Chain A
Amino acid sequence: MIIAVCVFPFYWMVTTSLKTQLVALEAPPVWIFEPTLGNYREALFEDGVLRTLINSLIIAVSTTLLALVLGVPAAFALARFEFRGKKDLWFWFITNRMISPIVLALPFFLIARNLGMLDKHITLILIYLTFNLPIVIWIVTDQFRGIPYDLDEAARLEGASHFTIMRKICLPLAMPGVAVSAIFSFIFSWNELMFGLILTRTDAKTAPAMAVSFMEGYNLPYGKIMATSTLIVIPVLIFALIASKQLVRGLTMGAVK
């Protein structure tokens, strides 16, 4: 039952994507029909969905890497060092995760316009940090805290710097958490729509923004929309299934503190 409810929509998405427009509009819907790959061919090669998928991939991977580079040391500091305002800082990081993207989308659009940064990959890579960095910091801080302090101490006595301790001792032990946060930030970036819609036009257009652009009130090409949806969703689902163990653990770490 659980499996059926979870999986059925995907089944329907894929089958609809293999229907021609007339078949897709048949009422009541048909379950057995002659499948066609026409929608995929049209979407990928005529409408340029392929390029938007590549854009999405570039952006999601880059922003994830950037979030890790910035976030892991910060998480280490939050877990290991004592300093004034630490609580507030942590709170501020986490609050960013909760801000509605529309709050940032408006001013970000205006700033990007003034800086001539509209429709560039880098713009999305940077703005996605607003939700990726908090995820990384949240999960990885937690992971660092779970590592016994004695290990640091021992290394410290041998004269290792904080940076070496982080890199050589704590990071390997925290790898599961780092992986989890990377998976999350990749998935969130891949799926993001609003910034993609507002801040890109053609060159950096992301795949979800592309899928939405087929929604012309004159004529809804359902098969093609579902084909594009399938192309967007399938990679991330495969990725999620492969990483499902880490994902589930990530939920536990991030959520059940």
Chain B
Amino acid sequence: MKTLRTLYSSAALASLVATGAIADDHGWSLKEAAAPYAGTTVDVVFLLRPGYEAIEAMLPAFEEETGIKINIIKHPYENALGEQVRDFVANGDLDIALIDLVWIGNFAENDWIMPLSEVQEKFPDIVDPDLDIDDFFPLVLNAFGGWNDTIYGLPFDNYSGLMFYNRCMLEEAGFDGPPETWEELKDVYGPALTKDGKYAFALQSKRNETQSADSFARVLWPFGGSFLDDEFRSNLMSDESQAGLQFRQDLMEYMPDGIVAYDHAETVNGFAQGDVAMITEWSAFYSTVVSPETSTVAECVEIAPEPMGPAGRKPALGGFSLAVASQADDAEQAAAYLFIQWATSKANAREYLERGGVPARQSVYTEDGLEDFKFVPALVESWQDGVPEFRPRFAEWPEITEIVQEWGTKMMLGEVTTEEGAEEIGTRMEEVLDAAGYYSGEKPLAQ
């Protein structure tokens, strides 16, 4: 770690020099660009997650350089959407929107956030010539920050689903690597690793966004299923979708009891305590499972891409972008943009990574000295091609996710069959979409 730090400082030095050079060429520097907005306070909602702690730790440098104050309001994920929606409909104080990829349709359609190009046109002097938007992974930029071919937000707290596995447990059971496919995980690894109070696998399935994003959608896509077909009708009754959902039921045999009450914390704890051999979790948990303070299996942790299904590798995709809020006044908008630009910049990506964040900049992952970050190869591979509509991103998602959460958990509990549950979700989902005007042609079929 120490060598990494030193390496970082020299890299930072280099980038400072580089910025300096650019400043000579174009006359741009953060300090000068921010000068008119010194003293402005920017309000933003943050989550209680590693990527946010990382940027918080880096914040003093920004505040000192610019004189802009960032006021962070912390919320757990489950409250973050509600808090922001209530703030925006009330013309509240938030100057930056924190947008989960499934919220973007909602925020964009309500004009709560400004398109990036609009901000840049309004405040041309604050745009960093070194912004290099093409450096973001295109999938990530479009999925997290874009809606209807317009970029609103810049990717900030980025996740891909990865497979974390306990090398020691796998070796003990005679495996020299992780399963390649979901089928293999269930049929070969499952029976071999589930014994003596230990379990082969845990799939976080609590009835909240975890159920729909981490559990339901995760088994849908690799088996060729999806939420909607091309006409926006439910595709959950298709053979592929049903196969995926049925697979989840069968897989439960190798998971701990009460998996429907497992949120990320329980799943990661189970893995970190050595009770579970494999989990599919977000990249953001890397720091938790390899830190000896929170994990007893730190030495054994290895990372692989998520297993493949019959339809290929379709890893879970999730993450947050930051966008400028329309409700802010001019100074706040400019200051907000400066912060977003800084937090997601190429120059800061390395430090962000080392402090526990996961940047979406391609360039940072080509640098040397990343051996300690075992998740990088799998992450980069996952972001090459994923499904942007892993969960539909349209404005109706908050209603639909509630439906999926309710009936998805009922399926897992065996209260309804996968067909009954899928039927029920399908009907209710189509009602929501119908009311929204997708079927009458009022609204374009965008997800």
Contact = CB atoms under 8 A, between A and B. Distances in A.
A107 interface: no
A116 B265 CA distance: 37
Interface stretch (B74-82, B177-185, B231-239): B74-82
B83 A218 contact: no
Interface string A186-228: 0000000000001001100000000011111111100000000
Contact of A217 (B74, B86, B265): B265
Contact of B264 (A22, A198, A201, A218): A218
B49 A218 contact: yes
A217 B273 CA distance: 17
A72 to B, nearest CB: 35
B294 A214 contact: no
Contacts of A217: 76-78, 206, 208, 210, 263-265
A177 B17 CA distance: 75
A218 B77 CA distance: 9
A51 to B, nearest CB: 13
A21 B265 contact: no
A108 interface: no
Contacts of A214: 48, 76
Contacts of B268: 218-219
Interface string B243-265: 00000000000000000000111
B92 A201 contact: yes
A201 B92 CA distance: 10
B74 A213 contact: yes
A109 B77 contact: no
B417 interface: no
A93 B86 CA distance: 31
Contacts of A212: 79
Given A201-B73, A215-B78, A113 B49 contact: no
B269 A216 contact: no
A206 B294 CA distance: 31
Contacts of B208: 217
B87 A201 contact: yes
B288 interface: yes
A118 B92 contact: yes
B83 A201 contact: yes
B47 interface: yes
A37 interface: no
Contacts of B73: 201-202
A102 interface: no
Contacts of A109: 86
Given A201-B73, A214-B48, A214-B76, A219 B288 contact: yes
A25 interface: yes
Interface in B27-55: 47-49
Interface residues of B, number: 31
Contact of B76 (A21, A116, A198, A216): A216
B90 interface: yes
Given A109-B86, A201-B73, A218 B265 contact: yes
B294 A21 contact: yes
A197 to B, nearest CB: 8
Contacts of B269: 25
B76 A213 contact: yes
Contacts of B284: 218
A172 to B, nearest CB: 46
B293 interface: yes
A119 B273 CA distance: 41
Contacts of A21: 294
A216 B288 CA distance: 14
A256 B137 CA distance: 69
Contacts of B57: none
Interface string B58-79: 0000000000000001111111
A21 B295 CA distance: 12
A126 B285 CA distance: 44
A25 to B, nearest CB: 7
Contacts of B288: 219
Contacts of B210: 217
A119 B49 CA distance: 25
B89 interface: yes
Contacts of A47: 74
B273 to A, nearest CB: 8
A218 B90 contact: no
Contacts of A213: 74-76, 79
A213 B72 CA distance: 14
Contacts of B47: 216, 218
A119 B86 CA distance: 11
A78 to B, nearest CB: 38
A220 B265 contact: yes
- Looking at A47, A116, A218, the one whose CB has the most chain B CB atoms below 10 A away is A218
A150 B87 CA distance: 58
Nearest to B284: A218
A151 B364 CA distance: 87
A202 B71 CA distance: 11
A116 B93 CA distance: 11
Interface string B284-311: 1100100001100000000000000000
A119 B79 CA distance: 16
A113 B293 CA distance: 44
B76 A215 contact: yes
A205 to B, nearest CB: 10
Nearest to B267: A217
B90 A118 contact: yes
Interface in A108-155: 109, 113, 116, 118-119
Nearest to B90: A113
Nearest to A219: B265
- Looking at B48, B210, B269, the one whose CB has the most chain A CB atoms below 10 A away is B48
A22 B115 CA distance: 44
18 contacts: A25-B273, A113-B90, A118-B90, A201-B73, A201-B92, A202-B73, A213-B74, A213-B75, A214-B48, A216-B49, A217-B76, A217-B210, A218-B48, A218-B264, A218-B285, A219-B48, A219-B49, A219-B265
Given A214-B76, A216-B49, A216-B78, 5 more contacts: A118-B86, A213-B74, A215-B78, A219-B48, A219-B49
By Cβ-Cβ distance, the 6 closest A-B pairs, closest first, are A217-B263, A216-B76, A216-B48, A113-B90, A220-B265, A217-B264
